[in-house]
Amino acid sequence: MSLRQASGLSDGFLTLGIETSCDDTATAVLKDDQVLTELLSSQIKDHAPFGGVVPEFAARKHLENILPLVDAALKEAGVAAKKLNLIAVTLGPGLMGSLMVGVETARALSQAWNVPLIGVNHLEGHMFAPLVDSDLKPPFLSLIVSGGHTEIIRVDDFGRYSMLGATRDDAAGEAYDKAAKVMGLSYPGGPEIDRLAKEGNPRAFDFPVPLKNTDRVEFSFSGLKTALLWQVDKLKKSGNVPLPDLCASFQRAVTDALIAKVVLAVKQTGIKDVAVSGGVAANSALRKALEDGRQWKPHLPRPSRCTDNAVMIAMAGRNAWRRGVRSPSALAPDPSLEFAS
C-alpha cells in the first residue's frame, strides 16, 4: 500500500462501497464525506411473482449486476480504480449467497487494484445512513427498522454500541410484508400498505399495540399479524374487505409500538438524539410520528437511503478505518454477524 493510499491526502479519501446483503446490488463512491455517486440495481420485479426474496435467485442476479455496477459507479464519479483508498463491503448479516458475491468480488478487486479492504456490519451501515446528510455525533440512539431487524441501539461512540432491545419474533418490515400478503397486496408490502393507509381510517379497527406498556425496550409483531389475519378472514365472510381502513389501522398499531419504545429508550437513557434507519424508516406514518415527537430530535435519512444502499456501507467502512479497524485478508461473509451486545 502506497503512502498516498495510507493517508488519502492528495485527492481526498476515496471509498468504494459495495452492498449485496439481500436482493439489491448497490455501489457508491465517496470522497471524504461527499457522495460522488450512488447506484442501485433493484430485484423487486424479479422476486415479486414469488411474494418474497428467493435467495438463490438473488445471488445469481448479484453476479450479473455487480461488476457492471462497480464500473459504472467509478466512471460516473470520475475516479480511477487504483486511486481508491478503501473498498468497504457488507460482511453480514444477510443471505449467504448474496453476501458471498459481494465479499468475493470486493476481495478480488482489492487484490487486483492494491487497495485496502474492510468488511462492514450491515446494521452498522444502517446506523450511518442518517449521518450522511447530518452532523450528528455520539451519543445518540439508533432505531433500526427493516425487513430483518427491529432494534434500538445506544451509540456512546463510534465502535461502542449496546443493544437496548430488539424484537422477540418478527421484524417490523417482515410484519408489513406478511400483512400485505394476507390482504392480497403486491410485494413488497410496506410501500403498498403505506399508500393505501393514506386513504383509510387508522381507528377503524382496534388492532393491539404489541408490548406498548411493558417497562422493557422490546418489540413483537407476530400477535398483531395474527389479529389482522383473523380480521381479514372475518371480513371476507361478510363480503366486504375495506383495504384502506385495514392498512391504516395496521400501520397505526405498528407505528404506535415503535414510538412507545423510542419514548421508553429516551426516558431510560436521557439521550434525546434519535437516528432512524432501515426500510421502514421510509414509512410516512412513522416519519411523521417521529418528527412530531417533542421528547427527542429525530435524524432521518432521505427515503432512498432507508433501504439497503452502498453509501451507508462506504460511510461506516471509512469511519471504522479511521478509528483503526482492519479486516483480515481472508475476509469471509457471516450471515449471522452480530452488531451490538
Write the pLDDT tens digit of every residue in 234-284. Answer: 999 998 999 999 999 999 999 999 999 999 999 999 999 999 999 999 999
**pLDDT tens-digit readout, 18-37:** 999 999 999 999 999 999 99
Q: Would you state the pLDDT for residue 1?
A: 39
Does 42 score more than 90 pLDDT?
no
Residues 162 and 263 in one domain: yes
* Residue 207 in this model has a pLDDT that exceeds 50: yes
Q: Nearest to residue 172, comparing CAs of 155, 189, 186, 184?
A: 189
In this prediction the pTM is: 0.92
Assess whether pLDDT exceeds 90 at residue 231. Answer: yes
Co-location of 189 and 286 in the same domain:
yes
Query: Does residue 337 form part of some domain?
Result: no
36 and 52 in a common domain: yes
| Alpha-carbon distances, residue 88 vs 20, 100, 311, 315, 318 (angstroms) | 12, 14, 10, 9, 7
- Strands 273-277 and 25-31 come out as unpaired
Residues 275 and 190 in one domain: yes
Per-residue model confidence as pLDDT tens digits over 51-84 = 888 889 889 999 999 999 999 999 999 999 999 9
- CATH, residue 236: 3.30.420.40
Q: Is residue 82 situated within a structural domain?
A: yes
Domains contained in the chain, number: 2
Residue 327 lies in a domain: no
Domain holding 176, by residue range, is 136-300
Q: Check whether residue 150 and residue 268 sit in a common domain.
A: yes
